[in-house]
Chains A and B, each alone.
Chain A
Amino acid sequence: MAITLDRAIEHKQRGWVASILGSQTFWVLVAVILACIFLSVTTDSFATPKNLYNITRNFTFVAIIALGMTLVIITGGIDLSVGSVLCLCSMVLAVVMNAGYSIEVGIAASIGTALVIGAFNGAMIAYLGFPPFVITLGMLSIARSLAMVASNNTVVFQFGPDHDTLLAIGGGAWFFGIANPVLYMIVLALLTGFVLRWTRFGRYVFAIGGNEHAATLTGVPVRRIKLAVYMISALAAGIAGIIQTGWLGAVTTNIGAGMELQVIAAAVIGGANLAGGVGTASGALIGAALIEVIRNSLGLLGINAFWQGTFIGGAIVFAVLFDRIRNFRQSE
């Protein structure tokens, strides 16, 4: 009996260390830290407060959307519409406020738009059985077009009576000089992490990604959960859109173009598996951070910006390669 107990405990401890060393997120975090140390030593401009402020703020928009995307990816789905949804939500906010309404009305309209779009995506996927790729690809086109319709394809930079409040929400730094978007990101990441680990909803999200059929048979409300994750994904894009509007102080119809790929890259680099069933909130943040550090460092090191795509693409391949090697070892 004592032997079994000892063995069990030994196994548990080994499991704890092994699971950290075996996690893709951990190694990507190591890569981010090493890159930061390297850049601090080799350049004068990296470890300056201004540059760090810029980096942290720049990656938050991708990171916030990547949190929602991570939920979708864990269920085994994909949401290609997030960049366009961000644009549409920003534009709804801008147009409503520009027309003289208060910021509360603007934000409510913007969030409402995000939820309606998410509900549409989710309902088509969960209840009518459309492939997520197809529906969200369609929405990618629709949402951006609607943004153009809403604004008549103009740039909006006057936000009515609450103009200054909006700019403060997105551009300020209310807490120890940390950019506001970073604070929102941290709060949302903690919330996502909590939901995934501690709620039944989170457990079901993983179950659907692991074996949707099994989840159905055991009484998991698969359709409702799927509907909810696409609504959350669109909501994350909407929130990022509102913050980004406040930060930029202007909205054009091309913001967020191509952003879906960066967001998916961040989630995947952070350890989310496109086959479903695997992903973490911290991974989404760390993946987004790695992409931003790569971009920032290329600039600081004086490497031609055209190389950016190569390095980011390389990071995606490397991160997933690591996971493949681990799987090969396990199967042997």
Chain B
Amino acid sequence: MAVLELANISKHFGAIQAVSDVSLSLHAGEVVGLMGDNGAGKSTLVKMIAGNFRPSHGTIRLDGADLVLHRPVEARQHGIEIVYQDLALCDNLTAAANVFLGRELRRGVGPLRVLDHKSMYRRAGEIFKELKSETRARDLVKQMSGGQRQAVAIARTMLSRAKIVLMDEPTAAISVRQVAEVLNLIRHLRDSGIAVVLISHRMPDVFDVADRVIVMRRGRKVADKPIAATSPEEVTGLITGAIEQV
């Protein structure tokens, strides 16, 4: 059964039609590459799933139940996690502090609750170990490499039992070796049964890690097929409009 189903979703801002009539479904343990040129509507689509925008038309169903989101925090409560393109990390804090930002562990009772640094370091350390990342929980984020920073952002999504992880251009600004690191992290999420949406401009990354590719052009979904049944040439054609639709 699909974890997330979008049915006939449209979004317009005034007269501008950003997304029109898009339907798609995500399954557990699947990586879906979402591709398209700038302005094709992919980030608008993702922002609707993430609770930043509400769709003008259409419905979103999570585990079969209608989902209406007003704020990004609500998406997180429903098990939808987002890794932002700029990673949304605080450089002046430790890796653990960033992982737990906004949902710090505390101990004590009532108003006398204090931060539970020890548990947060331990739990963050466990997550990094699980991700097979060299990131250390006590290091400051400003001292980290691009790959380690990605690991911190991804570790956030593993705090709660996320069902869906949306990743916005996770490999856009990092070195080749770090890209491999990040793709491994994505595979790890998939293997633990999470549905991953990978928004990317980088064809090799999508073909390396994704199970399925969805192509958007001018607000419409123009392709949705398994990676095995397509080729980089075809996807390029779909993105640019050389191929109308498949």
Report the bound CA distance from A197 to B71 in whole Å: 29
Report the bound CA distance from A3 to B116 in whole Å: 28
Asked if residues A217 and B104 are in contact (CB atoms below 8 Å), the reply is no
B97 CB to nearest chain A CB (Å): 7
Report the bound CA distance from A245 to B136 in whole Å: 50
Report the bound CA distance from A213 to B72 in whole Å: 13
Asked if residues A218 and B102 are in contact (CB atoms below 8 Å), the reply is yes
Asked if residues A210 and B88 are in contact (CB atoms below 8 Å), the reply is no
Asked if B61 is an interface residue, CB under 8 A from chain A, the answer is no
Asked if residues A219 and B103 are in contact (CB atoms below 8 Å), the reply is yes
Asked if residues A203 and B97 are in contact (CB atoms below 8 Å), the reply is yes
Asked if residues A277 and B90 are in contact (CB atoms below 8 Å), the reply is yes
Which residues of B sit under 8 angstroms from A209, Cβ to Cβ? 92
Asked if B203 is an interface residue, CB under 8 A from chain A, the answer is no
B202 CB to nearest chain A CB (Å): 23
Contact residues of B between 85 and 139, Cβ < 8 Å to A: 86-93, 97, 101-104, 106, 114-115, 136, 138
Interface residues as binary, A272-295 with B (CB distance below 8 Å gives 1, 0 otherwise): 000001100000000000000000
Asked if B84 is an interface residue, CB under 8 A from chain A, the answer is yes
- B89, B92, B114, B136, most chain A CB atoms within 10 A: B92
Asked if residues A198 and B115 are in contact (CB atoms below 8 Å), the reply is yes
Q: A-B contact count, CB below 8 Å?
A: 65
Interface residues as binary, A208-249 with B (CB distance below 8 Å gives 1, 0 otherwise): 011101110111100000000000000000000000000000
* Given A200-B115, A203-B97, A217-B72: A211 in contact with B102 (beta carbons within 8 A): no
Asked if B172 is an interface residue, CB under 8 A from chain A, the answer is no
Asked if residues B88 and A218 are in contact (CB atoms below 8 Å), the reply is yes
Asked if residues B104 and A200 are in contact (CB atoms below 8 Å), the reply is yes
Report the bound CA distance from A198 to B82 in whole Å: 28
Report the bound CA distance from A206 to B76 in whole Å: 23
Which residues of B sit under 8 angstroms from A206, Cβ to Cβ? 90, 92-93, 97
Which residues of B sit under 8 angstroms from A131, Cβ to Cβ? none
Residue of A nearest to B89 (CB): A214
Asked if residues A199 and B73 are in contact (CB atoms below 8 Å), the reply is no
Q: Which of B76, B82, B90 contacts A215 (CB 8 A)?
A: B90
Asked if residues A219 and B90 are in contact (CB atoms below 8 Å), the reply is no
Report the bound CA distance from A206 to B91 in whole Å: 10
Which residues of A sit under 8 angstroms from B90, Cβ to Cβ? 206-207, 210-211, 214-215, 277
* Given A200-B106, A219-B73: A211 in contact with B138 (beta carbons within 8 A): no
- A15, A209, A210, A218, most chain B CB atoms within 10 A: A218
Q: For the complex, would chain B's binding face be called helix, strand, loop or mixed by DSSP majority? A: loop
A3 CB to nearest chain B CB (Å): 13
Number of interface residues of A (CB under 8 A): 23
Interface residues as binary, B48-81 with A (CB distance below 8 Å gives 1, 0 otherwise): 0000000000000000000000001100100000
Report the bound CA distance from A82 to B180 in whole Å: 52
Asked if A12 is an interface residue, CB under 8 A from chain B, the answer is yes
B162 CB to nearest chain A CB (Å): 14
Asked if residues A210 and B91 are in contact (CB atoms below 8 Å), the reply is yes
Asked if residues A215 and B92 are in contact (CB atoms below 8 Å), the reply is no
Asked if residues A278 and B92 are in contact (CB atoms below 8 Å), the reply is yes
Asked if A11 is an interface residue, CB under 8 A from chain B, the answer is yes
Which residues of B sit under 8 angstroms from A211, Cβ to Cβ? 88-91
Which residues of B sit under 8 angstroms from A15, Cβ to Cβ? 138
Which residues of A sit under 8 angstroms from B91, Cβ to Cβ? 210-211, 277
Asked if A8 is an interface residue, CB under 8 A from chain B, the answer is yes
Asked if residues A11 and B115 are in contact (CB atoms below 8 Å), the reply is no
Asked if residues A220 and B92 are in contact (CB atoms below 8 Å), the reply is no
Asked if residues A207 and B93 are in contact (CB atoms below 8 Å), the reply is yes
Residue of B nearest to A211 (CB): B90
A94 CB to nearest chain B CB (Å): 34
Interface residues as binary, A172-206 with B (CB distance below 8 Å gives 1, 0 otherwise): 00000000000000000000000001111001001
Which residues of B sit under 8 angstroms from A219, Cβ to Cβ? 72-73, 76, 102-103
* Given A8-B136, A219-B102, A220-B102: A214 in contact with B115 (beta carbons within 8 A): no
Asked if residues A214 and B101 are in contact (CB atoms below 8 Å), the reply is yes
Which residues of B sit under 8 angstroms from A220, Cβ to Cβ? 101-102
8 A-B interface contacts by CB (under 8 A): A200-B104, A203-B115, A214-B87, A214-B89, A217-B72, A219-B73, A277-B91, A278-B92
List the 10 closest pairs (A to B, CB-CB), nearest first: A210-B90, A277-B92, A214-B88, A219-B102, A218-B102, A210-B92, A198-B114, A218-B101, A211-B90, A217-B88
Given contacts A203-B97, A207-B97, A214-B88, 18 further A-B contacts (CB under 8 A): A15-B138, A203-B115, A206-B90, A206-B92, A207-B101, A209-B92, A211-B89, A213-B88, A214-B89, A214-B101, A217-B72, A218-B88, A218-B101, A218-B102, A218-B156, A219-B72, A219-B73, A219-B76
